[in-house]
Amino acid sequence: MKEPSSQTPPVPWWTAGILLGLVQVLAIGLASSLDVSSQLVIADAKTLEHVAPEYAENHPLISDKEYNKFGYGSWLGIGLVLGAFFAALHLRMWKVRATSAWWRRNHNDPVLLRLIAGFCGGLCAMLGAGLACGGVIGQFIGGWAQLSLSAVPFTVAVFGSGMLVAYLIYPKTLAKDGRGQ
Amino acid sequence: MAIPVVGLILGAIFGASLVLTGLTDPDRIIGSLRLKDFHALRTVVVSVLIALLGTWLLGMGGVAHLDIKPAAIVTLLMGGALVGIGLAITGFSPVTGLACAASGRIDALATVIGMLFGAHVYILIYPSIVAPLEKILNFGQVTLPQVTGTSEIPWLVAVFAAGILTLIFTRRGRSEHAELPSQTGLGVSEGNHPAGSAALTTDGLDAVGVLRMWKNFLFVVIVLSLVLLQAMFWLTNTGQVELGRDAGSGAGTGQSAIEANPSATAAIETQEPAAPRLLPFDLTMDHITAAVNSVNAVLIFASVLYVATAYVALSISIGGGLGGLGHVSRAFYLSVVVLILLLPWQILFGRVGLGVIYAPDELADSCMTGAGGTLQTALFYLRFTGTWALAMLVLILAQRRSIRWTRAALRQ
């Protein structure tokens, strides 16, 4: 399946940054800092409540009422998915894709391997977000916006490990077609 | 029902923003991590700066709903590393993975499924592994100003400076072909070097190699010295140093430029630290004095040599007909500006002219006088941190120019 390379974003980077920053400010002004990664833990907690109620009741983390409620964060997650879906449709960017240009360049386009890697990467990312009490949006953007001490070690670790692993997994750069260079 | 509606609307705007901004493209994320395509990184940096400014303003108005995450250093480092690994493998973060899955990406869907498993693993290992780790080096829900005992302004300035520097460094490079200005301003037209000057060019290129080595070495020395100077200011300012009777005693290199408050000079008492002790040993003003004097000396010598190296590079470029004259000219003048910014002009001009280099007794007097109103506080940090940041920025710009000169010259 021939897939398109990186798409040109609809807005330039500075507009994009201002837009995202204002969304974060709006969130902090109205309710709370943006953080969706914890909602997956809550979703799993609610599943465990039904599947293994005794375990959930005695668990030191998910027995907390914070993990039992379907509140602001959960609606934020739902809104996120809906907003992304409709925006992609509207901008004609909705398209079934399975790999990326960097993956094809370095791994000869095996879709199955990409899906397995995606699964493993997602597992790592979510485990890390749980440990760090937030992901890139919650800890990095939200953390620095609030001058939180936690943002410092998180930033160092994310970019340090991210750059190193990216270099190992994607050693070949993209061809000079104006994208990714 | 207000909270669900707010969450839904904010989430929708957020999700749409992610698509608009291109952060749902994993190639952009990987490109940023591979330092090839900086769109995603620059977007995130700008969003951090805007969010920081907006949050600060909201905080001043008392309407910010802050959610400070606990600073458990060990789990933060481990978690950050895992997030970075996941980000690098897939090009998706937990949030963008959801948005990408909604945009039709099957690989993002696999990532989301992986994230659900990851959440489950996290819950399973929480009691035995995560909970004990969270207790190690846990400073609680604290902010950087709280830890350092300062106001938010210096941190705002620092983060903004770091963000702007990142934007500068990730700017798409201009074409680096050799620049051949018609007039150098020094009476020599570069294009007139005689044919057959291969030997001259070869010698010039040899000189470029030597100069590059010395320029880079001096740059590192100056940067380290500046960092040490700033570190000593912050150690003194945050109460990590005992400002006792030894404060500034006879070891300063110059006079204090800022007229000390008479009440501060009247009776010098031992100052209690305003913030928790971060160092495992005691620091006195004697240590700071010796360190500041040493660093000042190194800084002055190194910056003078740096300027001299830039001047020699400029001369060689002109005489040898090498490329990159525009770059090396700018590098030379920027290095002169750095030197001017560094020198302790307060010795000659008092308050009118202040250099980055400060005397130990000036530092002790300023820290002991303490902050008055907002203006005094702003001027205080501007003097010790603002000018420092400016000098550092100009130095980095000078070094970037000299690097471009080196490339242009060697390419020729």
Give the distance from residue B352's alpha carbon to the nearest chain A alpha carbon, in angstroms. Answer: 33
Same domain, A21 and A91: yes
Q: SS3 letters for A33-51? A: CCCCHHHHHHHHHHHHHHH
- Residue B42: closest C-alpha in chain A: A13
Q: For residue A88, what are the domain limits?
A: 11-95
Q: Do A83 and A128 sit in the same domain of this protein?
A: no
pLDDT at residue B199 in the model: 62
Kindly give the confidence (pLDDT) of every residue in chain B, 412 residues in length, as a single tens digit, with 9 standing for 90 and above: 467 788 888 889 889 988 888 888 899 999 999 988 888 899 999 999 999 999 988 888 888 888 899 999 999 999 999 999 999 999 999 899 999 999 889 999 999 999 999 999 999 999 889 999 988 888 999 999 988 888 888 898 889 889 998 888 887 643 333 333 333 333 333 344 444 456 666 777 788 888 888 888 899 999 999 998 998 888 888 877 776 644 444 433 343 433 334 443 443 344 444 456 666 667 788 888 888 999 999 999 999 999 999 999 888 888 877 778 888 999 999 999 999 999 988 887 777 678 899 888 888 888 777 656 777 788 888 888 889 999 999 999 999 999 888 888 877 6
ipTM: 0.90
Say if the Cβ atoms of A11 and B7 lie within 8 Å: no
pLDDT score of B117: 93
Same domain (yes/no): A82, A18: yes
pLDDT at B188: 37
Please answer yes or no on whether A16 and B145 come within 8 Å at the CB atom.
Answer: no
Answer yes or no: do A33 and A59 share one domain. yes
Structure tokens at B240: 């990590």
Do A84 and A111 belong to one domain? no
pLDDT value at position B355?
Answer: 87
Residue A132 lies in a domain: yes
Q: How far is B58 from chain A (nearest CA, A)?
A: 7
Task: Show residues of chain A in contact with B46, CB under 8 Å.
Answer: 13-14, 16-18, 20-21
pLDDT at residue B268, rounded to an integer: 39
Out of A95, A112, A133, pick the residue that ends a domain: A95
Q: Write out chain A residues lying below 8 Å of B117, CB-based.
A: 119, 122-123, 126
- Cβ contact A31–B7 (<8 Å): yes
A103 domain residue, yes or no? yes
Q: Are residues A121 and A88 in the same domain?
A: no
CA distances from B5 to A22, B10, B11 (A): 19, 8, 10
Last residue of a domain, one of A30, A64, A95: A95
Residue A84 falls inside a structural domain = yes
A74 and A135 together in one domain: no
Q: Which two tokens stand for residue B364?
A: 């002790």
Q: Note the pLDDT of residue B57.
A: 87
Statement to judge: residues A111 and A135 lie in one domain: yes
**Contact between chains at B27 and A180 (C-beta distance less than 8 A):** yes
Whether residue B83 and residue A128 make contact (CB cut-off 8 A), yes or no, is yes
A127 shares a domain with A82? no
Contacts of A50 in chain B (CB under 8 A): none
Each of the 181 residues of chain A gets a pLDDT tens digit; together they read 444 445 566 778 888 888 889 888 988 888 888 888 888 888 888 888 888 888 888 888 888 777 767 778 888 889 999 999 999 988 888 888 888 889 988 887 678 889 999 999 999 999 999 999 888 888 899 999 999 999 999 999 999 999 999 999 999 888 654 444 3
B25 contacts on A by Cβ (under 8 Å): 6-7, 9, 100
Residues A21 and A72 in one domain: yes
The DSSP bridge partners found for residue B242 are B284
Question: Smallest CA–CA separation between B112 and chain A, in Å?
Answer: 6
CB contact under 8 A, A122 and B70: no
Residues of chain B contacting A140 with CB distance shorter than 8 Å: 44, 48
- Chosen from A76, A99, A163 to mutate, greatest number of chain B CBs within 10 A: A76
**Chain A interface, best mutation among B1, B3, B21, by max A CB count within 10 A:** B21
- The last residue of a domain, from among A77, A95, A113: A95
Q: Is residue A114 part of a domain?
A: yes
Q: Do A123 and A162 belong to one domain?
A: yes
Q: Do A125 and B111 touch (CB under 8 A)?
A: yes
Closest-CA distance of chain A to residue B29, Å = 10
Interface test with B, best of A42, A66, A70, A100 (most B CBs within 10 A): A100
**Chain B positions in Cβ-Cβ contact with residue A10 (cut-off 8 Å):** 20, 22
* Interface size, chain A vs chain B, as Cβ–Cβ contacts under 8 Å: 547
Q: Does residue A140 share a domain with residue A64?
A: no
Judge whether A176 lies within some domain.
Answer: no
Please report whether residue A76 resides in a domain: yes
Name which of B22, B102, B117 is nearest A81 (Cβ-Cβ): B102
Q: How many structural domains does chain A have?
A: 2
Chain B positions touching A26 (Cβ under 8 A) are 10, 13
